[in-house]
Amino acid sequence: MVTGLVGGFDNAELHGIFSVVFNGTAGDDTVTVTPLTNSSIQYQRVGDPAVTLNGVTSFEFDGGGGNDLMVVDLTAAGNVTLPGGGIVYDGQGPTVAPGDMLRIVGGQGRKAFYTPDGAITGNGTVSLTDAANTPLGQIQFKGLEPLDITGMAAVSVLFPNANDSVTVQSGTDFTMGGANPAIQVSGSSGGVVFESVALWNDTTVVIDTTTVHDGNDTVALNSSGNAHGITNFQVKTGLGTDSISVGSVPPAAGISFPVKSISPPPAPSPTGTEPPPTSPRRASSLRQAPDRS
């Protein structure tokens, strides 16, 4: 393992089979990590030359003090895999806004799957695949404040516990000074607040509460405008007593609520009483929030 690298090289290229821990400073550090091939990456802190690592098995950035940012740039690498041990980002201090942030920039038809930690706010993983769902590796983070994911063919936001409470609303990016209109996803899973994520210029976005533990989930949609560049938007809930509150839906060419997950309320019977569900799979209701415009 190579530890404690803090830059200061004019040019550097390291060879071997090793893991690397790059330590930040007490100030605000911005570090960009770029996968080059299946066995090499490049990292660069603003103000330092780039460092190329060949044969690296894992890369970790420990932010230290300050409001730090790590950018994982996947735009030019093709479908290369990340190091087997992944890319790790430990934001460390501080834990208040704006805090330590992560931006993941996709490309080449990649898909991203964001799963917050089930017990600790600010921890989580983003797993990557290619267009054929072949795994490409994982980005792990802890001690993080918000994150951005942009430029992906698809982004799925998954939840680790039952009884999810999710809000989707209009906003901007977190890591670029609000320059990009985005949809922001926030809330809690099983009572544990998860780290908010801003999404823009991702072809498809899926909010999926079914992948780990089912429960009674609530999803509130409060997004308007289409400058976020998202083409398809989907919500998946499971077989619990789920509710989707529609203030406004992120405008997109394809918006879907899968039939197996959600159905609108049945029409009243002639006697004014509501009939029982026609299928045992119906477990959710769709309700329109009042118009406050």
* pLDDT tens digit at each of 293 positions of the chain: 555 554 544 455 556 657 899 999 999 999 999 999 888 999 999 999 999 999 999 999 999 989 999 999 999 767 788 999 999 999 997 767 788 999 999 988 999 999 999 999 999 999 999 999 999 999 999 999 899 999 999 999 999 999 999 999 999 999 999 999 999 999 999 999 999 999 999 999 999 998 777 789 999 998 767 789 999 999 998 788 888 888 766 666 566 665 444 434 344 444 444 444 444 333 333 444 444 44
Distance between start and end Cα atoms, the chain:
58
pTM above 0.95, yes or no: no
Q: Quick check: 274 and 266 in contact, CB under 8 A?
A: yes
Residue 205 and residue 209: Cα distance in Å, rounded?
A: 13
How far apart CA 11 and CA 3 sit, in angstroms, is 18
Amino acid 131 reads A
Residue partners of 62: CB distance under 8 A and separation at least 6:
21, 22, 23, 24, 90, 92
Pick from 197, 195, 186, 194: nearest CA to 228? 197
